Amino acid sequence: MGAPSASIVDREADALLPTYPRYPVEFVSGRGARLVDADGREYLDFLSGLAVTSLGHSHPAVAAAVADQAARLVHVSNLYYTAPQVDLAERLRATLGWPDAKAFLCNSGAEANEAAIKLARRHGKARDPDKVGVVALRGGFHGRTLAALALTGNPAKHAPYQPLGDWVTHVPHDDAAALVAAVDDRTCAVWVEAVQGEGGVRPVPDEVLRAARAACDRVGALLVCDEVQTGVGRLGAWYGWQTTPVEPDVVCLAKALANGLPIGAVVARGAAASAFSTGDHASTFGGGPVVCAAALAVLETMGRDGLVERARHAGEGLAGALWSLADGHDLATGVRGRGLLQALTLREPVAPRVTSEALGRGLVVNAVTPDAVRLAPPLIVGDDEITEMTGLLGAALVAVGVPS
């Protein structure tokens, strides 16, 4: 592994608040599924910057769209009309298959969830002033801002920031009866993911999603699907909910939507689409011309190049390759996930060591939980690259071995 120059490690520790544990590598460029570090060493990227660079690094269509838009108009505020924002909202509606949907554009996944919380409250309070409660799933991840953190079903992440209020009830991700029991007339929304990404790449069972849909319909609440990690082709469908038996009222998007530029979106259909009025929410940078041009290039490229189908096919190949590792290595126990969001599960909590060994061999993956290695390669990943990954990850498993 190309060790970073000592200076960047020291300068980072000196100049940045210490919120990130970083791997000892400095990346300087990338193309497709390959990254290059400061020493010129190449890596195979099977993480895509946490499920973000789905078209691969330095995609020419995105680079051209950004350069072209940046040369014409970068910012003018949301006091005025700009075409890329409206074009993108229309394109999102088309890819969702929701002709009546409306979008709010922001800058990140947490912001998309924050906007959706406010939307769900406005929708709920219009019916009953006390209709502000949310039911969310344990293991769910929705962001680090305070309200999104409150939704996040991970008590350890809550602890340092309490109090976060008592408006969220968490239920196990696989317990339909508990979810049904938690939803009452004061519930304004139920929050789900099709596959819990940060929660360890755990698909949410169909019966839980069906129960969530039915419970929302029973009490007039919104079903919100956080598609920040699962959306924009990652699961082998345009959106994760399309791989499930239910249709949400609201989706939250971010990550892959602009292939690495900061963007977030909330898209609402039906009654949810009319819950916000003028002045209810805003963002200085949200929906800016450059990121919207990038997102339009992403969606156009995905359609033109058939990348959703490609992700479905490659996802089968990836799952098969990981099963071959699970079958051949004592340390690996199984595979879970959907499409191109997969995890190799381990017998012992040594995923950080496996990930470091992989990095040392030129493979970028991550330890999503102590006993699971997450793989989220770009949607353009080739079959030969999946084969190459299998060799590198297999060698990493052997290097770590089963601790005695």
Ligand X SMILES: Cc1ncc(COP(=O)(O)O)c(C=O)c1O
Q: Binding ligand X by CB under 6 A: which of 49, 124, 143, 337?
A: 143
142 binds ligand X (CB under 6 A): yes
- Which residue, 84 or 109, is less far from ligand X as judged by CB? 109
> Among residues 229 and 366, whose Cβ is nearest to ligand X?
229
Q: Which residue's CB is nearer to ligand X, number 173 or number 329?
A: 173
Which of 2, 4, 109, 337 is in the footprint of ligand X by CB under 6 A? 109
Q: Is 141 in the site for ligand X (CB under 6 A)?
A: yes
Q: How far is the CB of 113 from ligand X (least distance, A)?
A: 6
Helix, strand counts (H, E) of the chain: 13, 17
| Minimal distance, residue 270 CB to ligand X, in Å | 22
Q: CB-wise, 59 or 374, nearer to ligand X?
A: 374
d(Cα 27, Cα 52) in Å, to the nearest integer?
A: 16
Footprint on residues 170-229 left by ligand X (CB under 6 A)? 193, 197-198, 226, 228-229
Minimum CB–partner distance for residue 285 and ligand X (Å): 13
Task: Considering the complex, state which of residue 2 and residue 236 has its C-beta at the smaller distance from ligand X.
Answer: 236
What is the C-alpha to C-alpha distance for residues 153 and 108, in angstroms, rounded to an integer? 19
Burial (CB count <10 Å: 0-12, 13-18, 19+), residue 71: exposed
DSSP-derived pairing of the beta strands 168-171 and 133-137:
parallel
Q: CB of 139 within 8 A of CB of 202?
A: yes
Cβ nearer to ligand X, comparing 36 with 50: 50
Contact flag: residue 249 with ligand X (CB under 6 A): no
Residue 364, φ and ψ in degrees, nearest 5:
-100, 115
Distance CA(264)–CA(115), nearest Å, equals 10
Nearest distance in Å: CB 229, ligand X: 4
What is the spatial distance between Cα 230 and Cα 95, in angstroms, rounded to a whole number?
14
Tokens matching residue 48: 């895509």
Which is closer to ligand X, CB of 50 or CB of 73? Answer: 50
- Which residues, listed in sequence order, are joined to residue 252 by a DSSP beta bridge? 226, 266
Q: CB of 218: closest distance to ligand X in angstroms?
A: 26
Minimum Å gap between C-beta 241 and ligand X is 13
Q: Closer CB to ligand X, residue 2 or residue 143?
A: 143
Query: Which listed range, 141-149, 217-225, 265-273, 391-399, lies at the site for ligand X (CB under 6 A)?
Result: 141-149
* Coil vs helix vs strand at 242: helix
d(CA 319, CA 338): 8
- What character string, x for contact with ligand X (CB under 6 A) and - otherwise, covers 37-76? -------------x--------------------------
Judged by DSSP in three states, 173 sits in coil
Run of H or E including 10: helix 6-15
Contacts with ligand X in 274-293 (CB under 6 A)?
A: none
- Judged by CB under 6 A, the number of residues near ligand X is 15
d(CA 87, CA 70): 17
Distance CA 68, CA 292 (A): 12
Residues in the site for ligand X, rule: CB under 6 A?
50, 108-110, 113, 141-143, 193, 197-198, 226, 228-229, 254
